[in-house]
Structure 1
């Protein structure tokens, strides 16, 4: 499975399509930690093989993968990553038929080579699905989905006043600042939402994103930035009535859980990496967008053009219209 949260979620339709077409097959998903925690309840797979992938001293995790591959003697291996090393590991692990993208000088390890499809105007979910064409599996309408334990969802709901409407706010993104709407604008939207006494707000993010915002001092505001692991993040998002977010992993997580979204796009392309088969996107046309750069060296118009009241109104619409995108 892919190594980034958003990419991994966008690859989950592959699991559904494989199970649908090969109902008796034994399917193992190789996935790095902690992303593997999100697919352990996936009904389409028989086993999740999870591994740590350190930045240095990678020999140990590669040995672990090789051992698993050789023990299981897989008939087919589908590579959703583009790296040379992943193809080499499947080859050394004696996977009988290896299917993957013909990139990064790895074609000699592949039995079925797929040219990396021109992603312009093509969603990444569909790019992944094209990997199954050699198996005579046509592009399906299956969408990304994460399966959670309902009892665990109920436990999280009890932590909050669920009689209130809950707005999850994810104001960060791993790729860079150019994907992020100004933080003070997220804060302003939250302040205005709190004028409605029936609304609570949860701020979500990683440890590296920790901030001290004045709004955290207000009632009905929960600051969970840096306080959830990836599995708990999924459960918290699952009890939200709407999620306000940049283009990010949590955005795809919310979409995979069918949570209404207001997703803000600037430097990236919503056609390629937006919520799959859904709207809820706010994006302003500018001459330089999408640029796909981590940092804006111009005037950041693509994000600054998105107004606070426009976002506020979209969030309010989603709050009171359940499951409508």
Structure 2
């Protein structure tokens, strides 16, 4: 059997979908399993075990619904038996339809049910990982009990004094405000004198990270890695860290899936739906002082900057980091 899975479009969602891929492998142990992933996220697919082929899709190369159809059509030669469509978009269903897969399975969103042979209702109030798996359960008529969000980075020796910091997020409502970030980094470096801190970010986040570290005094203790790693390099760096401190973002899910001790600082996002899935070595911190938390908006309409992030308890972050750093 040949199976094709259209992975989600966002980094964190791709990581959360690894449990779905693993469940498909459990149900169809003899199948060839291929995936479609956004070209920018291709490095993550390389860390998902058990895949046969990785098809990279570029929106720049295949524009609009016509481009999506053309891309899907190039995969007809693979003769797929099943196409699992994890994104809710109409375009992803068009892509599946164009592949000619015998069965095309997805949630019946955006009026796309006519493009799917098996369309199901998306369950409410589930964690994103469980939401994806529910699609497989509804199609297969079987309960999935083993759920594992996991990425396989290179075998890297953990550095006991290394802390990786990510204060970025695609949504400004989940990004650490500059002033708060500067205070936190100053407090962490002054408190943990023997620790090494690496602050990460994508190339487009370099300006933000540069400003964040503009007042950092100890160049030997704090390093700026913004724009200096690709996704696989970021994964290897996180896998080698003793602890990762991160906002609610794709890197939070990366760290958690790699088995790193992870402290996640939540603002606008709803941790019950989108927090990292693996509970071991995970601490979620939220201020919880505002009636609007969580608003799940991408921008803060009330305060301009995310006050929910500003109100995070700095000493709670310090104490949590201390527990992880001192844990064998």
Instruction: Tell me whether the two structures share a fold, i.e. TM-score over 0.5.
Output: yes
1:65 aligns with 2:66: no
Q: Deviations over 1:200-244 (max 9, x none)?
A: 000011222222322175212110012211121111111111111
Query: What CA distance in whole angstroms lies between the structure 2 residues aligned with 1:29 and 1:197?
Result: 45
Residue number among 80, 87, 107 corresponding to 2:93 in the alignment: 87
User: What TM-score, normalized by structure 2, do the two folds share?
Assistant: 0.88
Query: What CA distance in whole angstroms lies between the structure 1 residues aligned with 2:39 and 2:99?
Result: 21
Q: CA deviation at 1:316?
A: 1.6
Which residue in the other structure is 1:290 paired with? 294
Which residue in the other structure is 1:261 paired with? 262
Query: What CA distance in whole angstroms lies between the structure 1 residues aligned with 2:63 and 2:164?
Result: 38
User: What TM-score, normalized by structure 1, do the two folds share?
Assistant: 0.88
Q: Structure 1 stretches of 5 or more lacking a match? A: none
Q: CA deviation at 1:183?
A: 2.9
Query: What CA distance in whole angstroms lies between the structure 2 residues aligned with 1:11 and 1:137?
Result: 18
Q: Deviations over 1:115-158 (max 9, x none)?
A: 1221x3x21000001010111331334121111232xx46xx7x
Which residue in the other structure is 1:190 paired with? 185
Residue number among 50, 56, 66 corresponding to 1:50 in the alignment: 56
Q: Deviations over 1:59-101 (max 9, x none)?
A: 5565233211x10110101000111121122212211001001
1:230 aligns with 2:231: yes
Which residue in the other structure is 2:23 paired with? 17
Pick closer, same or farther for the CA change 1:277–1:232 going to 2, 3 Å.
closer
Which residue in the other structure is 1:140 paired with? 145
Query: What CA distance in whole angstroms lies between the structure 2 residues aligned with 1:262 and 1:99?
Result: 35
Query: What CA distance in whole angstroms lies between the structure 2 residues aligned with 1:56 and 1:32?
Result: 11
Residue number among 88, 97, 106 corresponding to 1:100 in the alignment: 106
Query: What CA distance in whole angstroms lies between the structure 1 residues aligned with 2:67 and 2:117?
Result: 27
Which residue in the other structure is 1:28 paired with? 34
Query: What CA distance in whole angstroms lies between the structure 2 residues aligned with 1:284 and 1:139?
Result: 34
Pick closer, same or farther for the CA change 1:38–1:141 going to 2, 3 Å.
same
Which residue in the other structure is 1:166 paired with? 162
1:199 aligns with 2:195: yes
Q: Within 5 Å, which residues of 2 pair with 1:120-159?
A: 120=125, 122-133=126-137, 134-150=139-155, 153=156
Query: What CA distance in whole angstroms lies between the structure 2 residues aligned with 1:136 and 1:148?
Result: 33
Query: What CA distance in whole angstroms lies between the structure 2 residues aligned with 1:3 and 1:188?
Result: 33
Query: What CA distance in whole angstroms lies between the structure 2 residues aligned with 1:180 and 1:43?
Result: 31
Pick closer, same or farther for the CA change 1:256–1:106 going to 2, 3 Å.
same
Indicate conservation of the 8 Å contact 1:202/1:222, yes or no. Answer: yes
Indicate conservation of the 8 Å contact 1:21/1:137, yes or no. Answer: no
Q: Structure 2 stretches of 5 or more lacking a match? A: 1-6
Query: What CA distance in whole angstroms lies between the structure 2 residues aligned with 1:234 and 1:247?
Result: 16
Misfit runs of 4+, over 4 Å = 58-62
Indicate conservation of the 8 Å contact 1:205/1:226, yes or no. Answer: yes
Q: Which moved more, 1:76-85 or 1:29-38?
A: 29-38
Which residue in the other structure is 2:221 paired with? 220
Q: Which moved more, 1:211-220 or 1:85-94?
A: 211-220
